[in-house]
């Protein structure tokens, strides 16, 4: 059975590096599925930093919206790292797509993969309620995506200051 | 001895569902103590979603302010779920009540219950310092409430993407 | 070998009290290294609350910027508590200093201490992306500082509602 892992955390919590290490442990040829699109120079710099850190064993697929297709197309070629679901949520909202239904489709696709999948997402709900209505809706959607994908994955880690806390599986019975 | 549990987490972290599961494990007739008041349609929709999820074994008490009275009145009738302390803090501030002293009274009441109590609260302090002075005060009050009630409870869980991390009891000696 | 511990958490998560307890366990004469400067009455009140809580075994050094010098000067005199790195980051930015390079210097200094060091920092990246560009930059710098210092320390705790979660060392292999 293939392994699926979700890594969540705040901004600059080290979640991408943790996810890269977890992916690298599962294969030699690695596929980076980027949901980011460079709209401005700030974004471009962030993408560049992430790319420079990854070594030559990585190839990149850019897919802002259709992650199910990206997983299907890359399955059997090695472990995939999807970075990140929060940007994907934002992209879906920008294109007026139904986020919850897209997340459920992605959850199903994850369960069907033969190669491993590691996914990165963000904690965005632990601050004060945003005054902006769109920000509140985004926060709700992003949190729902995290829950749906966490349920579909074998493992869930929370990144704090560069170190992971294992959240799932745990020994808490509910 | 009756059990008391605090479940905290960010927005859409799955904390309410986790708290419901924990409450349902402790009895058959369950009491939901709601601190929410529907002031607008957004709030009404949220309350409705939560109610729909809970089954017929649940009865509801609405109490925006006097949680000590709500606990006293419902004690002996089954496990109670208080959802949530952050809204309660906001309600207290709106009515110019002393939040810290109300939290201490609630902590005492929790210790005196014969039926179990599960309480839900929010993590609101892990974002950037809010520019708004009232938001900063709210963040401080909400955090203080969390600490006071966590100390009064037997157990504390942090919800992340629908899964709980056990924070208390732990084996860390301070 | 001297012990170094980083305690992180949101606002009002109880991180300072946890850090004080950890420091007090390691000696009798304790040194508090404060990065805070009182610019306004809100800040003054916060500093006063923290001071009142600490007992007479504590002496205080105020150092908003040069923490390496503060550590060097106080080494050999007992455990030090640095509170906090987030304010330090803000002070460095205010004085147009290179935060990443200062954090790396501090990491080196921590590794060279003969007396224990406990450091407090903040989780600031788990809310919605700030609209303000400076707030985004601060969030990035603060998160980077947390990662650099966490890597230099023997132990890392996350404070939640007054209770610590041990993040490092852990048994997760990356």
CB pairs under 8 A between B and C: 89
The reply to whether C13 touches chain B by the CB within 8 Å rule is: yes
The reply to whether B30 touches chain A by the CB within 8 Å rule is: no
C-alpha to C-alpha distance for C46 and B127, rounded to whole angstroms: 19
Residues B2-40 have pLDDT tens digits of 699 999 999 999 999 999 999 999 999 999 999 987 778
The reply to whether B108 touches chain A by the CB within 8 Å rule is: no
B86 inside domain: yes
- CB crowding A102-124: b at 16 or more within 10 Å, else e: bbeebbebbeebebbbbbbbbbb
What's the rounded mean pLDDT across residues B59-79? 96
| Residues of chain C contacting residue B154, judged by C-beta atoms under 8 Å apart | none
Residue A32 backbone phi and psi in degrees, to 5 = -100, 120
| CATH number, residue A126 | 3.40.50.300
A24 inside domain: yes
C40 inside domain: yes
A41 pLDDT more than 90: no
Looking at residue A2, its pLDDT comes to 61
The pair of three-digit structure tokens given for residue B105, joined into one six-digit string? 């009274």
Looking at residue C1, its pLDDT comes to 47
Residue B6 backbone phi and psi in degrees, to 5 = -110, 130
Across chain A, what does the average pLDDT equal?
Answer: 94
> Environment class of residue A173 by beta-carbon count within 10 Å: exposed (0-12), middle (13-18) or buried (19+)?
exposed
The pair of three-digit structure tokens given for residue B164, joined into one six-digit string? 């709980």
Q: Which helix (H) or strand (E) holds B134?
A: helix B133-152
DSSP symbols for B76-110: TSS-EEEE-HHHHHHHHHHTT--HHHHHHHHHHHH
Least confident window among A37-46, A56-65, A130-139? A37-46
Whole domain around residue C140: which residue ranges?
4-168
The reply to whether B49 touches chain A by the CB within 8 Å rule is: no
Looking at residue C2, its pLDDT comes to 61
Residue of B nearest to A9 (CA): B160
C82 inside domain: yes
Please, what is the angle between helix B15-24 and helix B41-53, to 10°? 30
Across chain B, what does the average pLDDT equal?
Answer: 94
Residue of B nearest to A147 (CA): B161
A1 pLDDT more than 60: no
User: Which of the pair, C166 or A42, is modelled with greater confidence?
Assistant: C166
C-alpha to C-alpha distance for A129 and A42, rounded to whole angstroms: 25
Q: Give the number of domains in chain A.
A: 1
A68 pLDDT more than 70: yes
Angle of CA points B80, B83, B86, to nearest 5°: 140
How do the pLDDT tens digits run along chain C, 174 residues long?
469 999 999 999 999 999 999 999 999 999 999 998 777 888 788 777 877 888 889 999 999 999 999 999 999 999 999 999 999 999 999 999 999 999 999 999 999 999 999 999 999 999 999 999 999 999 999 999 999 999 999 999 999 999 999 999 998 988
3-state DSSP assignment of residue B125: coil
C-alpha to C-alpha distance for A60 and A54, rounded to whole angstroms: 10
Provide the ipTM.
0.94
| Residues of chain C contacting residue A13, judged by C-beta atoms under 8 Å apart | 125-126, 143, 146-147
The reply to whether B129 touches chain A by the CB within 8 Å rule is: no
Q: Which residues contact C14 (CB under 8 A, 6 or more apart)?
A: B147, C159, C161, C162, C163
Residue of C nearest to B146 (CA): C161
Residues paired with residue B160 on neighbouring β-strands, in sequence order: B163
The reply to whether C146 touches chain A by the CB within 8 Å rule is: yes
| Residues of chain B contacting residue C12, judged by C-beta atoms under 8 Å apart | 125, 139-140, 142-144, 146-147
Query: Among A128, A139, A151, whose Cβ lies nearest the Cβ of B130?
Result: A128
> How far are the Cα atoms of A101, B51, B88, B125, B153 from residue B63, in angstroms, in the given order?
35, 15, 9, 25, 20
Please check if B144 is assigned to a binding site: no
Query: Among C144, C165, C174, whose Cβ lies nearest the Cβ of A12?
Result: C144
> Environment class of residue C11 by beta-carbon count within 10 Å: exposed (0-12), middle (13-18) or buried (19+)?
buried
Looking at residue B2, its pLDDT comes to 61
Residue of C nearest to B147 (CA): C161
Looking at residue B41, its pLDDT comes to 85
Provide the shortest C-alpha distance from residue B81 to chain A (in Å). 15
Judge whether A50 counts as a catalytic residue: yes
* Rounded-to-10 torsion of CA A139, B52, A106, A5: 70
Least confident window among A117-121, A141-145, B43-47, B157-161? B43-47
CB pairs under 8 A between A and B: 89
Please check if B96 is assigned to a binding site: no
What's the rounded mean pLDDT across residues A47-60? 85
The reply to whether C161 touches chain A by the CB within 8 Å rule is: no
B49 inside domain: yes
The reply to whether A137 touches chain C by the CB within 8 Å rule is: no
Query: Among B12, B128, B166, whose Cβ lies nearest the Cβ of A125?
Result: B12
A89 inside domain: yes
C174 inside domain: no
Q: Which residues contact B12 (CB under 8 A, 6 or more apart)?
A: A125, A139, A140, A142, A143, A144, A146, A147
In this complex, the chains that touch A, judged by 3 or more CB pairs closer than 8 A, are B, C
A141 inside domain: no
Number of neighbours of residue B58 by Cβ within 10 angstroms: 17
Please check if B98 is assigned to a binding site: no
Looking at residue C65, its pLDDT comes to 97
Q: Which of A2, A27, A38, A50 is catalytic?
A: A50
What's the rounded mean pLDDT across residues A39-59? 83
What's the rounded mean pLDDT across residues A80-105? 97
Scanning C56-85 for CB atoms below 8 A from A yields none
- The pLDDT confidence band at residue A79, using thresholds 50, 70 and 90, is very high
């Amino acid at each position: 059975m293939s392994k699926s892992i979700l890594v969540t955390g705040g901004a600059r919590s080290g979640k991408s590096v943790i996810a890269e290490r977890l992916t690298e442990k599962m294969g030699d040829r690695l596929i980076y599925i980027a949901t980011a699109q460079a709209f401005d120079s700030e974004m471009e710099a962030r993408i560049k930093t992430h790319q420079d850190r990854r070594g030559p064993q990585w190839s990149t697929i850019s897919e802002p919206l259709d992650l199910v297709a990206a997983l299907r197309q890359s399955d059997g070629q090695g472990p995939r790292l999807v970075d990140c679901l929060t940007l994907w949520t934002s992209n879906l909202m920008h294109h007026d797509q139904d986020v919850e239904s897209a997340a459920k489709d992605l959850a199903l696709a994850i369960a069907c993969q033969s190669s491993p999948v590691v996914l990165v997402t963000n904690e965005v709900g632990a601050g004060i309620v945003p005054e902006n209505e769109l920000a509140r809706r985004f926060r709700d959607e992003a949190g729902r995506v995290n829950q749906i994908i966490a349920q579909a994955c074998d493992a869930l880690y929370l990144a704090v200051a560069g170190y992971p806390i294992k959240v799932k599986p745990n020994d808490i019975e509910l």
